[in-house]
Structure formats: C-alpha cells, structure tokens
C-alpha cells in the first residue's frame, strides 16, 4: 500500500489524540485514505514533559528542522495553539513544501489572509475543519456538501464551556460564579476563562464560518459580542416562565434589514449574544458542553449539527479526517475553488448592527408604586417599541421604597432603538441600576 509520510507539530491534548488515532488505528485511516499515513516525526518543545501516550522510539524530537528538511514529509498537522510561534512555524512548513492541517482557530482568525495567500503562492493547502466545533464536520459540510446552495443563515452554540455554564445555571439554579467553578473543576473551563465567557471564542469561530459561508471579510473583534459573565440566574427563571431558555447564540444571517428572516440577498447580520431560545426547538435543547449549529440553505433547507465541539478525541477525529482528505487531494480542490481569505472583494456587506431587527427580553428593577409601568411603556413607545407581554410578581417585604423586578417582552424593534430606549429608562428615578436586555430568537 502507498505510504504518505506525515509529521505532528505539538503533542498537547489534541496532538496526543491525533498520535493515538494514527498509530493505534492506522489500519482504519489506511482503509479510508487508500494509503498509510505514516508518522515520521513528532515535534515538541519539551522532550522531558510527561505524556500519557507512548510513541514508538525515535519519533519524538525538539528539532523542527528534522521536518522542514525532510522532503519525504508532505503533510504536517500544526497542533500548537496561540499566535506565536504557531504563525512562524506554519509559514516555515508551507515554504518547505508541506500541506497543513490545523485546529488553531485564533491563528486563522488573526492571520488567515497572510497564511492562505502564502499557501496559494506555494501551491500548498491548509485544512482547518478541527478549528470550529471540534468533532462536528461543519467546515467540510459548508465548504463542500452545501456547495450547490446559497447559505441563508447560520445560528448556533459554538462554545461548549459557556453552554455548560448556562445549563448549570438553569438546571441546578446555580449562580454564575458557582457554575463557572464547576466547569473549571470538570476541565471544561480554563483557569482563565475570559476568552470563553466573554464570547470571544465564539466570535472567532463565527468569523471563520461567515467567511466560508458568505465570503464576509470581518475581523472577529469587529463582531458585536456580549458574553455570559454578567448573566443572572433570575433571568434563567424568568426566561423559563416565558417558555424560553438562555443560550449564547452566534448568528450569521442574510436579510434585508427589515425582518429577522433569512433572504438570498441583502446585508449580513453578525453577532454573538446571550439569547432567549424557545423551549422545544433544537438549539434550546442543547445541554452541557455540547455544540450545535443550524444551517439553512436555499436548496437544502434547514440542517442541524449537534455534538461535542471540543475535547481531545473529537478534535483529533477532525484533524485526522482533514489529514486523510489532504493526502488524497480533496482538500486542495476545495482550497483552490473557494479562494479562501484572498484579497478579493467581500461578497457581502455586514449589516449596521443598530439597524438589526429583533425582539427583546428586558428586565428592570423598579420602585413598587403606581405609574411605573406607564413611564417605561411611554419611553418604549417613543422609540416605536411595542410590548408583547409583562411579568411583575407581587413584591416581598413591607414598607415604602420597595423594589420589584419588571420583565417585558417586546415586539420586533431595531437594535439601536432598543439600546437607546433602555438607556433612557435606566435614567428614570423609579428604575434602579442593573437593567438587562437580551435578544429573543423565535
């Protein structure tokens, strides 16, 4: 059987899983690839670091030149996280004649144009299915399987850590701090969880998906983004009372700016934000550390992907699948056809976020006295925002100065109008600090 020699750069959590699949299950990969993917070298920075998978003698090295100077190695899995030295090593691998497979979403989100342009100049390819949603083959499906479609919308849960936290807050009635601590104990959240809980990780993934599906040229930091780090368990309870669950939802959707429905033309809506999702719909039922994405194409209609979006073996599964596709030439064809991260004009413009239509969940803490609801309704009406429903429970305690939560669900309104109206309501004497505004996905 034909042999394709490969190298692994990095042997952390994902790299260890990739090594295990290629070495312990080489017969499986050979059956799918029609050739053996032979691990020639595994490059690491620390040879003495303890590892829970024992490599065959002679594979492990801290000398990158051993791969760069080996003309028989045609394919490298670049499994180092972060920006540097990952960027420099990727360029060196391309210039030494290697095709690349990577799981590094941050590297692509920050330096995709530079790396992909250089790869095209050198006649090489970069495969990256593992960079978004781990073991869920969403990159392949959008790039290849849906190629007959105009994608209309992507809506999904792209970060398992945040989904675990909001699931804990709802199911265990835990506050945010307790849910985060549990996520860290189980290894779902890093000691510094900022990139996950701020929504930044989901925004990086959304930028990649929006580029692939719509040809959008947007940096992930330009995507409007709100994290879950200010979520209150009270809002989980109110959402459930209204028939919704709160999820951190990433959205990329084409529409004409007047209605929150997909269209085949118009500007691209992009954002990541805690969102109320109707109980019983697929996204609302995604629990724990799972990811999910609903893709709507004009020909195929709605398609739903659900699974583990991170972790050693799911991500390693996607890396090895990309290695097989690259070895047999499928990745190169897609890479050239899509012209990813090229200097071409963006195929679609992004919608002005303030013009984005949608419904909203609003929660205020207000004085318990007559006329408060009328004051708030008056300011909403001033900005053409209609009220769909209200929740105001009876107050607890006695005496003057009591405050109560007031929950309002709006009809459809523009993002900018909702933002301005809430800011004006916050300045009313009857309203206390700490109002909440979240989008509603119906």
Q: Which residues are catalytic?
A: 205
Backbone angles phi, psi at 386, to 5 degrees: -95, 150
Q: Which residues contact 403 (CB under 8 A, 6 or more apart)?
A: 365, 366, 367, 368, 395, 432
Nearest to 218 by CA among 57, 341, 400: 341
Contact 188, 168 (CB under 8 A): no
In this structure, the chain runs to a length of 442
Q: Where are the alpha helices (DSSP H) in 340-414?
A: 372-382
Residues 315-335: b if buried by 16+ CB within 10 A, e if exposed: bbbbbbbbbbbbbeebbbebb
In the structure encoding, which two tokens stand for residue 261, read together?
């429905």
Distance CA 203, CA 43 (A): 30
Going by the DSSP 8-state scheme, the letter that residue 105 receives in this structure is H
Within 10 A of 12 (CB to CB), how many other CB atoms are there? 14
Say how far apart CA 364 and CA 366 lie, in whole Å. Answer: 6
d(CA 62, CA 43): 5
User: DSSP string spanning 283-295?
Assistant: GGG--TTEEEEEE
Give the distance from CA 168 to its chain's centroid: 20
Tell me the backbone φ, ψ of residue 36, rounded to 5 degrees: -90, 130
Helix axes 330-338, 105-122, angle to 10 degrees: 90
């Amino acid at each position: 059987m034909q042999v394709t020699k490969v190298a692994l750069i990095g042997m952390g959590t994902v790299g260890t899983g990739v090594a295990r699949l290629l070495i312990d299950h080489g017969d499986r990969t050979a059956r799918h690839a029609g050739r053996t993917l032979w691990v020639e070298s595994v490059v690491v920075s620390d040879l003495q670091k303890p590892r829970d998978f024992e490599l065959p003698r002679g594979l492990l090295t801290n000398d990158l030149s051993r791969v760069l100077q080996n003309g028989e190695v045609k394919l490298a899995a670049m499994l180092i996280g972060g920006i540097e030295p990952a960027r420099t090593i990727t360029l060196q691998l391309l210039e030494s004649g290697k095709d690349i497979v990577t799981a590094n979403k941050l590297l692509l989100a920050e330096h995709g144009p530079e790396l992909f342009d250089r790869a095209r100049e050198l006649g090489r390819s970069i495969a990256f299915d593992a960079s978004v949603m781990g073991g869920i083959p969403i990159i392949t499906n959008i790039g290849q399987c849906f190629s007959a479609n105009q994608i209309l919308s992507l809506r999904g849960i792209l970060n398992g850590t945040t989904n675990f936290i909001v699931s804990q807050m709802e199911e265990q009635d835990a506050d945010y701090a307790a849910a985060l601590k549990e996520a860290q104990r189980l290894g779902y959240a890093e000691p510094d969880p900022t990139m996950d809980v701020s929504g930044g990780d989901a925004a990086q993934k959304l930028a990649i998906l929006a580029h692939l599906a719509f040809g959008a040229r947007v940096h992930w930091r330009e995507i409007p983004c709100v994290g879950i780090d200010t979520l209150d368990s009270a809002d989980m309870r109110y959402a459930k009372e209204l028939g919704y669950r709160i999820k951190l939802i990433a959205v990329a959707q084409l529409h004409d700016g007047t209605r929150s429905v997909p269209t085949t033309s118009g500007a691209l809506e992009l954002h990541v934000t805690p969102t109320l999702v109707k109980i019983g719909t697929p996204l609302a039922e995604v629990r724990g550390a799972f990811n999910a994405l609903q893709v709507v194409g004009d020909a195929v209609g709605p398609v739903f992907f659900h699974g583990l979006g991170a972790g050693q073996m799911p991500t390693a599964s996607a890396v090895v699948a990309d290695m097989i596709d690259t070895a047999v030439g499928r990745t190169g064809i897609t890479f050239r056809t899509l012209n990813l991260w090229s200097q071409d004009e963006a195929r679609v413009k992004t919608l002005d976020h303030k013009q984005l239509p949608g419904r909203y969940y609003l929660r205020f803490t207000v004085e318990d006295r007559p006329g408060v609801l009328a004051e708030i309704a008056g300011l909403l009406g001033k900005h053409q925002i209609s009220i769909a429903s209200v929740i105001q429970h009876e107050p607890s305690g006695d005496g003057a100065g009591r405050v109560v939560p007031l929950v309002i669900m709006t009809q459809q309104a523009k993002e900018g109008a909702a933002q301005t109206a809430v800011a004006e309501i916050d300045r009313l004497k009857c309203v206390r600090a700490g109002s909440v505004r979240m989008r509603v996905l119906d």
